[in-house]
């Protein structure tokens, strides 16, 4: 979608939101490109500032608060991803406690870093960023510990800034204790915000609260931020005092309501982090089900990355997905599985308690239960990997089976090979890894040790209990058992009573 289309489409989606009465937050399609250079809308660049200087004392952690994860991604990573849907300009990150750690984590990213040496409030934080704000820009101010805010809501907030260039995100709460209340005049225009500790008894009855998230012209900030005062109960410089300054100058502040409270909830302690984690997972589950995925229990699913599903996928309980996982049509995943950075073809079945990492699984293959597929493994179509089998850095071609209690590492297994129970590829000599090659249609008997490097030829048979140390020619039988002896009258040793 071209950027030039944004204005018309934005108007359409706002009309659609009014028509269905949702406020618009849930009706941007998943593939809708929100990226926009605001020169095309109102002649302004969009500049994103993310406040990330808080120490997060209640987290009781050495890790900066904004690096604590939700859904496997740092909280600030969610915020940056949402902002990136609106603009490609370089975000400004205002850091303080743990700033060096934060910069190390995002080394190599195109970010502008601003230090807030003393944490004296949100207004003081933005004051530090004044020298790097692009002149004539619209500044979108976000918080690194508010991870669930959607790009759709931010798009509405930016649109609402209008010619006056000032919009504020609010939310209605049944229990607003602790939050700054929105003050409106008799014409329902926003004229100020009063913090909870500074509010009068009547103001404490208000349910509309400030989220602190706003879009405001950079020239307003250049004028207002140096004039902020700290004569309040907290002794801090409040960014939200800019609302009253706007009202005093006759500048309209547009109020935009968030779709729900969870979207604008911040994290201050481990309990809130856990609450938002479950909210995030619930959002992922709902999106999957809307796409046709069957979830045995939506409350028992964890997606810590990106999950892409085909049609008629079935997911049982307690599955954890990490990194990027792609599931083809008709894939079925049993309970208690862990899958990371893997691609599963159509019709694959993964049975209970199985682990897959950085693997590619061909269509109609069956894995588990209690199997482990380690990185750099590629399975062809209709491959069977059974219970208590571990496969590492190996390729197994179509129709082959490793069904029981075996280890296959650094191996290349051809088509229609049967690997018996208890088979081990002895791939490590204490210093180097060596490869095992098993060609098409070979049969490996149970309790076999294949001492790499070694090759078993096409159609060869390895008898049960054999240790293979030399290559086996195609079509041959190899056997290395010790001849069985029977001793009559043997008595086992007995313990003294």
Enumerate the active-site residues. 404
Calpha distance 74→67 (Å, rounded):
5
Classify the C-alpha dihedral 432-433-435-436 as positive or negative.
positive
Task: Say if CB 409 and CB 450 are below 8 A apart.
Answer: no
Calpha distance 142→182 (Å, rounded):
18
Q: Which of 446, 421, 361 is nearest to 395 (CA)?
A: 361
Helix/strand/coil for 467? strand
Q: Which of 426, 378, 386 is nearest to 402 (CA)?
A: 386
Calpha distance 120→234 (Å, rounded):
9
Q: Which of 3, 145, 8, 149 is nearest to 87 (CA)?
A: 3
Calpha distance 328→343 (Å, rounded):
8
Task: Say if CB 266 and CB 286 are below 8 A apart.
Answer: no
Token pair for 291 = 């796409």
Buried b (16+ CB within 10 A) or exposed e, 469-497: eeebeeeeebeeeeeeeeeeeeeeeeeee
Q: Which residues is 99 bridged to in the sheet?
A: none
**In whole angstroms, how large is the CA radius of gyration of the chain?**
31
Calpha distance 339→352 (Å, rounded):
12
Task: Say if CB 253 and CB 275 are below 8 A apart.
Answer: no
Strands 208-217 and 138-143: antiparallel
Phi, psi of 186 (to 5 degrees): -65, -15
Task: Say if CB 425 and CB 444 are below 8 A apart.
Answer: no
Calpha distance 338→350 (Å, rounded):
10
DSSP-H helix ranges across 184-291:
218-224, 241-248, 270-290
| DSSP-assigned letters across all residues of 210-224 | EEEEEEEEHHHHHHH
Quickly count: other Cβ atoms within 10 Å of residue 113's Cβ: 15
Non-local CB neighbours of 412 within 8 Å, separated by 6+ positions: 394, 395, 435, 436, 437, 438
Strands 366-367 and 384-387: parallel
């Amino acid at each position: 979608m071209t950027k030039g289309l944004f204005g018309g489409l934005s108007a359409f989606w706002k009309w659609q939101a009014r028509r269905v009465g949702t406020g618009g937050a849930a009706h941007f399609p998943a593939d809708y490109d929100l990226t926009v250079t605001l020169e095309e809308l109102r002649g302004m660049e969009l500049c994103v500032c993310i406040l990330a200087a808080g120490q997060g004392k209640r987290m009781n952690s050495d890790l900066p608060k904004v690096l604590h994860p939700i859904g496997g991604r740092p909280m600030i990573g969610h915020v940056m991803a949402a902002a990136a849907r609106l603009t490609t300009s370089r975000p400004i990150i205002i850091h303080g406690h743990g700033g060096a750690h934060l910069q190390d984590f995002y080394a190599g990213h195109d970010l502008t870093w601003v230090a807030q040496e003393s944490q004296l409030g949100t207004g003081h934080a933005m004051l530090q960023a004044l020298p790097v704000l692009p002149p004539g820009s619209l500044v979108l101010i976000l918080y690194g510990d508010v991870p669930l805010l959607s790009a759709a809501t931010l798009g509405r907030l930016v649109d609402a800034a209008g010619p006056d260039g000032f919009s504020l995100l609010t939310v209605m709460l049944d229990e607003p204790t602790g939050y700054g209340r929105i003050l409106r005049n008799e014409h329902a225009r926003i004229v100020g915000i009063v913090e909870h500790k500074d509010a009068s008894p009547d103001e404490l009855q208000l349910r509309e609260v400030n989220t602190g998230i706003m879009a405001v012209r950079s020239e307003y900030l250049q004028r207002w931020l140096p004039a902020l005062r700290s004569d309040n109960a907290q002794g801090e410089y409040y960014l939200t005092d800019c609302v009253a300054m706007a009202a005093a100058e006759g500048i309209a502040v547009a109020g935009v309501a968030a779709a729900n409270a969870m979207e604008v909830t911040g994290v201050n302690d481990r309990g809130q982090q856990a609450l938002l984690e479950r909210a995030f997972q619930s959002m992922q589950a709902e999106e999957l089900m809307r796409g046709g995925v069957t979830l045995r229990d939506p409350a028992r699913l964890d997606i810590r990355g990106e999950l892409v599903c085909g049609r008629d996928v079935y997911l049982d309980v307690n599955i954890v997905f990490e990194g990027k996982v792609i599931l083809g049509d008709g894939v079925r995943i049993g309970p208690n599985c862990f899958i990371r950075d893997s691609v599963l073809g159509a019709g694959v079945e993964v049975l209970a308690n199985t682990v897959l990492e950085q693997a590619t699984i061909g269509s109609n293959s069956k894995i588990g239960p209690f199997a482990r597929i380690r990185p750099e493994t590629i399975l062809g179509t209709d491959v069977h990997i059974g219970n208590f089998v571990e496969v590492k850095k190996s390729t197994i071609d179509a129709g082959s089976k490793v069904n029981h209690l075996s280890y296959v590492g650094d191996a290349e297994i051809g088509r229609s090979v049967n690997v018996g129970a208890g088979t081990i590829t002895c791939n490590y000599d204490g210093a180097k890894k060596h490869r095992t090659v098993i060609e098409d249609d070979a049969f490996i008997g149970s309790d076999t040790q294949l001492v790499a490097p070694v090759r078993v030829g096409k159609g060869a048979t390895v008898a049960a209990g054999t240790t293979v140390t030399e290559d086996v020619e195609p079509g041959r039988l190899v056997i290395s058992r010790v001849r069985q002896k029977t001793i009559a009258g043997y008595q086992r040793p007995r313990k003294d009573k």
